[in-house]
Chain A
Amino acid sequence: MYISIEKVSKAFTLKDKSTLTVLDKVDLYIKEGEFICLLGPSGCGKSTLLNLIAGFDTPSTGTIKIDGDTVTQPSIDRIVIFQNYGLLPWRNVIKNVELGLEAKKLKRKERRQIAEEYIQLVGLSDYKMHHPPQLSGGMQQRVALARALAVEPKILLMDEPFGALDAMTRMHMQDEIERIWQEKKKTIIFVTHDIEEAVFLADRIVIMTPSPGRVKTIIEVPLPRKRDRTSLDFLKIKDKVFAEFNLKPAETIEYYL
């Protein structure tokens, strides 16, 4: 398996010395190039799991291996995209995209060229000299995406990336990330609490439940791309996910006289 998460638990010690278990013996195996959505309500540990895969934090027990190597620290091979974008406001768009390339010790000209290429990929060529606060939320997230892709990571880790966007922009961004995923063949792990978003994007949806965070089930989404949000098959899978979260009214038999 490309990414194997084996019996991973994470517990935090609170101020009163008690421990809070956020993740409890999570097992998850991910193939290279797969689009995985971690779906669940807040407190189910989905962001914690993402942070562990990123290497920002280490599991209390269990191991995370990527391509056979245990994750111990962050790496430029797997870039995290945050909900609040994490752009540097004092740098303009192109300089933000160049940030990751600077650590790669490329020549200035080369950096500029790669940055331009990825800014074009996300459709922001007209805005490359703008500073982040001058852009809308959707555009800022595109910049973050270009910055991540520019260093050619193998894995993208997205932490509710579209959570701060309005519904319409969010759907546009979903189309966009699907297009980029197909074009660049990345492995994507995408945290969300939006059921429709998960059904639209994921090859497999990992459904998590809170306190402590556990994987409840994994739902395959065998629909062809690009998916139609209103098709019957789409709605059937959505229905299945709703049922997993007990969000469907129980079927009661009514009698008529």
Chain B
Amino acid sequence: MRSDAVMGKIVKVLKVISSLALFVAIWELIVLTGRYEPSLLPSPVKVLEGMGELVKDGTLITHFKVSLSRFITGYAMAVITGISLGLVLGYNKKVWEFVEPVVQLLRPVSPIAWFPFIVLWFGIGDVPAIIIIFIAGFFPTLLSTVSGVRKVDPVYLNVANNFGIRQPHLLFKIILPAAFPMIANGLHIALGTAWVFLVAGEMVGAQSGLGYLIIDSRNSLRSDLVLAGIIFIGISGLVLDRLIKLLEGYIERQWGVSDGRRN
């Protein structure tokens, strides 16, 4: 049984490697046969060299740190306000009915559209990027929290009522944990969206960060570094996604959502 599991893992890793290798091979083939201007489509080797350059001279880690700290600030703000507002609004049906139209109107607007106002109100620097991440992460968190709270099984509320559990204990001991699997799912979606908009935010309003790295490389006509930056953004986004997936899995096990063991 154990060796089967190990074999399965190996096969999975091989699949990932061969998929990536095939992708790079096609890319190289296009570069070799197409005779494109190197600045229009840099070869994989060139990009790899560019990546090495960025890692070696410390540019990457500086920009990555800046981006990550903006991301964490904006995302944390979105999570805290999204969950707390979501709990209140999910619990007060009447207030939510009143607020929902506005939320639904604002939700589909790309955070970038707010950029003119953000610059007017907050200037340039770290803040605009943080605000954009906040907007991107806020709506998925809010909406999943509201719907999580509204879907809490009424039997839990009856039990709490019967045992004399009053507010604020009702919120923290019953409603929040009961809604948490759904909230965690919203946090996962919010993370992906926020990461996408981090780069966009840094491309229009910052002098540092991974998004800026791309713009800066374009300005100096280094398309290999542009692609190197894109690849780094992809990798770090993937790592963040995996991390939150681990958290989600842990929560589901803890909540008994995914644990099928029954006697």
Specify whether A and B are partners. yes
Number of A-B contacts (CB under 8 A): 73
Chain A residues with Cβ under 8 A from B166's Cβ?
Answer: 103
The interface size of chain A toward B, counting residues with CB under 8 Å, comes to 26
Q: How far, in angstroms, from A139 to B173 measured CA to CA in the complex?
A: 23
B254 located at the interface, meaning its Cβ lies under 8 Å from any Cβ of chain A in the complex: yes
**A102-B169, A135-B263, A136-B263 known; A90 vs B255 contact (CB < 8 Å):** yes
Distance between A157 CB and nearest chain B CB, rounded to angstroms: 9
- Asked if A131 CB lies within 8 Å of chain B CBs, one says yes
Assembly CA distance A109 to B261 (angstroms): 31
Whether the Cβ atoms of A102 and B165 lie closer than 8 Å is yes
Number of B residues with CB within 8 Å of any CB on chain A = 24
Chain B hits for A29, CB < 8 A: none
Q: Mark A86-112, 1 if CB is under 8 A from B, else 0.
A: 101110000000011011100000000
Residue-wise interface mask of B (147-178) relative to A, using a CB-CB cutoff of 8 A (1 in contact, 0 not): 00000000110110111111001000110011
Is B255's CB under 8 angstroms from A86's CB? no
Q: Are B263 and A76 in contact (CB under 8 A)?
A: no
Q: Which of B163, B173, B254, B257 contacts A79 (CB 8 A)?
A: B163
Chain A interface, DSSP helix/strand/loop, else mixed: loop
Q: Are B164 and A84 in contact (CB under 8 A)?
A: no
Assess whether B180 is in contact with A133, with CB atoms less than 8 Å apart: no
B164 CB to nearest chain A CB (Å): 4
Q: In the bound complex, how far is the Cα of B260 from the Cα of A135, in angstroms?
A: 10
Q: How far apart are the CA atoms of A125 and B159 in the complex, in Å?
A: 23
Query: Which residues of A have CB within 8 Å of B263?
Result: 134-136, 139
Contact in complex: B180, A76 (CB < 8 Å): no
Given A84-B155, A89-B255, A134 and B163 touching (CB < 8 A)? no
Query: Cβ of A90 and Cβ of B254 under 8 Å apart?
Result: yes
Contact of B163 among A100, A131, A132 (CB under 8 A): A100
CB distance from B248 to the nearest CB of A (A): 14
Task: Say if the beta carbon of B4 comes within 8 Å of chain A.
Answer: no
Given A80-B158, A86-B159, residue A131 in contact with residue B259 (CB < 8 A): yes
Q: Evaluate contact between A136 and B262: CB separation under 8 angstroms.
A: yes
Contacts A84-B155, A103-B169, A133-B262 known; A89 to B164 CB distance under 8 Å? no
Please indicate the chain A residues that have their CB under 8 angstroms from the CB of B254 in the complex. Answer: 90, 131
| Contact between chains at A99 and B163 (CB < 8 Å) | yes
Q: Does A52 contact B (CB under 8 A)?
A: no
Q: For the complex formed, measure the closest distance between the CB of A156 and the CB atoms of chain B, giving whole angstroms.
A: 11
Once the chains bind, are A102 and B159 in contact (CB under 8 Å)?
no
Bound complex: CA A89 to CA B159 (Å): 13
Complexed CA–CA distance, A56 and B155 (Å):
11
- Can you identify 6 A-B contacts, CB atoms within 8 angstroms? A76-B162, A90-B255, A99-B173, A133-B256, A136-B262, A151-B163
